[in-house]
Amino acid sequence: MNRFSRYFSQFVGNSNMKYILVTGGVISGIGKGVISSSVGTILKACGLRVTSIKIDPYINIDAGTFSPYEHGEVFVLDDGGEVDLDLGNYERFLDIKLHRDNNITTGKIYQYVINKERRGDYLGKTVQ
């Protein structure tokens, strides 16, 4: 079982789990993160268990190499994960601790698939 499966397995199988997706394209600074944090805070105040996951289309593995002029500051999580500043807002608004796996990037997905291919997990099949 990989680290993603271990982390998210606590949520799998819960038929009562709901998802709220907040999208707004790639325009930075329009408040998607604050809206997400605020909605989560309201739901938590209603007695629901809430967590937050940010999905970014970047090829970067994490935000550690982002230009602060282009993307803003980097937030460092307790587990050392270097992530988008929005995750810092999620932690503060929701009063929860997030992990590096709460931040998914295209780069992480590529790395995961390539590592599996290198180990031979696809048994010689073409990975597309």
Tell me if 32 is assigned to some domain: yes
Residue-level pLDDT at 43: 93
Tokens representing residue 72 in the block: 């803003």
| Confidence (pLDDT) at 7 | 58
Residue 51 domain-assigned (yes or no): yes
Q: Output the pTM of the full model.
A: 0.78
Helix (H, G, I), strand (E, B) or coil at 116: helix
Q: How far apart are the first and last CA of the chain?
A: 22
Is the Cβ–Cβ distance between 106 and 57 less than 8 Å?
Answer: yes
Tell me, what CATH number does 68's domain have? 3.40.50.300
- Residue 60 forms part of a structural domain: yes
Could you tell me which residues are beta bridge partners of residue 75? 83
In a domain, residue 27? The reply is yes
pLDDT in tens, the chain (128 residues): 566 556 556 555 556 788 899 988 777 778 899 999 999 999 999 999 999 999 988 888 888 888 777 777 889 999 999 998 899 999 999 999 999 999 999 999 999 999 999 999 998 888 88
Q: Is residue 126 part of a domain?
A: no
pLDDT value for 1: 54
Q: What is the pLDDT of residue 50?
A: 94
